[in-house]
Amino acid sequence: MTPTDPKDPVRIAQMAADPMMKQASRDFFLKSCEYRYSYNFSWLGVAIIQYPQDLVATQEIIWRTKPDVIIETGIAHGGSLVFYASMLELLGGSGRVIGVDIDIRAHNRAVIERHPMMKRITMIEGSSIDEATVSRVRDLARGAKRVMVALDSNHTHDHVLRELQLYSPLVTKGNYLIVFDTVVDDMPTSLLGNRPWGPGNNPKTAVHEFLKTNRRFRIDKEIESKLLVTVAPDGYLECIAD
């Protein structure tokens, strides 16, 4: 492995440990939030409220792990659903995306349903922690050999912790459970607006609580180290056991 290899773990570790890089990354992220930076982008024509760095990391995961089913809680405009479906399209086969949202707005649903990637997408309207919703997801995922889950809905501690408890059993060994917006724990309240979540009550606190008792998952710190700019610090969870 050469020093210029993009996967060189030594170089990645050195970069992540560099205090100037860490501070520059944090400064960029916090300043970018003032301009709603994550709203600047679309995927195949559909708005996707994500940082490009996390999209790159997620496509690496999908290409490497090759899930048959990807489950996402929190649909918003639908860009992430289209992103996941397009990755499965590139992989070939019959891979499916299941999207869950408590309120799929009519104009967002219409955009998603018109998209060519809709052929791989199933949407479920309902609370992601309602047993009836979870039961439908389980039914749709039944028989899949490789399952990935992404949690990006209500960001309160209690809600995300319940999602982790309900959806983590569906994730298969070697695949990932990605918890977005764990970065809320590291942000000043002035940037969060009038939201029910904030420092001490957010997806990261839920992840840490979940991992106290669940040994099937580990935080993949290398992903965070190579990104530096991410909305999911401590949120890339690799399933390491059946």
Nearest alpha-carbon partner for 179 in 144, 139, 136, 208 = 208
Q: Answer whether residue 186 is part of any domain.
A: yes
Q: Answer whether residue 67 is part of any domain.
A: yes
Whichever domain contains 222, its CATH number is 3.40.50.150
Confidence (pLDDT) at 6: 63
Q: State the distance between the two ends of the chain, measured CA to CA, in whole angstroms.
A: 32
Distance, CA of 115 to CA of 121 (rounded, Å)? 10
Q: Answer whether residue 41 is part of any domain.
A: yes
pLDDT in tens, 185-213: 999 999 999 999 999 999 999 999 999 99
- Give the long-range contacts of residues 207-210, CB within 8 A, separation 24 or more: 207/160, 207/164, 207/179, 207/182, 207/234, 207/235, 207/237, 208/234, 209/157, 209/161, 210/161, 210/164, 210/165, 210/168
Strand partners for 47 = 42
Mean pLDDT of 146-172: 98
Q: Answer whether residue 82 is part of any domain.
A: yes
Q: Answer whether residue 60 is part of any domain.
A: yes
- How many separate domains does the chain show? 1
User: Does the pLDDT of residue 31 top 90, yes or no?
Assistant: yes
Confidence (pLDDT) at 48: 98
What are the tokens at 51?
A: 């940082």
CB-based burial of residue 190 (10 Å sphere; 0-12 exposed, 13-18 middle, 19+ buried)? Answer: exposed
pLDDT in tens, 50-106: 999 999 999 999 999 999 999 999 999 999 999 999 999 999 999 999 999 999 999
* 71, 167 contact by CB (below 8 A): yes
Q: Answer whether residue 1 is part of any domain.
A: no
Domain housing 13: 9-239
Kindly give the pairing relationship between strand 42-43 and strand 46-47: antiparallel
Q: Answer whether residue 40 is part of any domain.
A: yes
Cβ contacts of 190 within 8 Å, gap of 6 or more: none
Q: How confident is the model at residue 1 (pLDDT cuts 50, 70, 90)?
A: very low
Mean pLDDT of 129-138: 98
Q: Answer whether residue 3 is part of any domain.
A: no
Confidence (pLDDT) at 7: 77
Kindly give the pairing relationship between strand 121-125 and strand 46-47: unpaired
